[in-house]
């Protein structure tokens, strides 16, 4: 099973600077305490939302290939359902199809 890691999660896992110089400030503009708190809040929200995402994925996995095709998905796309980039691309695709039909 592939584990996808969002950019925000990766930012929490990777230090922004690998430098060991003592004269550098501990917090840069990118890693201010408020930014760290917002990242922590995002991780907590992601963890709280995990059961809902698992339930949705379980329900989608129970659908047949024909039923998935009816809602515009296939089995390969199920792991990307909660990916914001995937959702944005689907919205853009649907908008372009809708404008073509209306024209």
pLDDT digits (tens, 9 = 90+) for 67-91: 999 988 889 988 888 888 888 888 8
Give the pLDDT score at 1. Answer: 46
- Under 8 Å CB-to-CB from 78, ≥6 apart: which residues? 57, 60, 61, 68
Q: How far is residue 11's CA from residue 35's CA, in Å, rounded to a whole number? A: 11
pLDDT band for 24, please (50, 70, 90 cuts).
low
Asked if residue 77 and residue 40 are part of one domain, the reply reads: no
Three-state DSSP at 72 gives coil
- Parent domain of 12: 1-49
Asked if residue 87 and residue 44 are part of one domain, the reply reads: no
Three-state DSSP at 35 gives helix
Does the pLDDT value for residue 51 go beyond 70? Answer: yes
Has residue 54 been placed in a domain? no
């Amino acid at each position: 099973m592939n584990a996808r890691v969002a950019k925000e999660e990766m930012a929490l896992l990777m230090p922004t600077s690998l430098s060991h110089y003592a004269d550098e400030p501990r917090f840069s503009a990118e890693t201010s305490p408020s930014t760290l708190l917002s990242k922590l809040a995002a991780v907590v929200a992601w963890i709280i939302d995990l059961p809902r995402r698992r339930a949705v994925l379980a329900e989608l996995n129970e659908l047949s290939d024909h039923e998935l095709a009816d809602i515009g998905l296939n089995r390969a796309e199920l792991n990307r359902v909660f990916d914001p980039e995937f959702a944005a691309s689907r919205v853009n695709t649907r908008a372009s199809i809708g404008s073509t039909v209306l024209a």
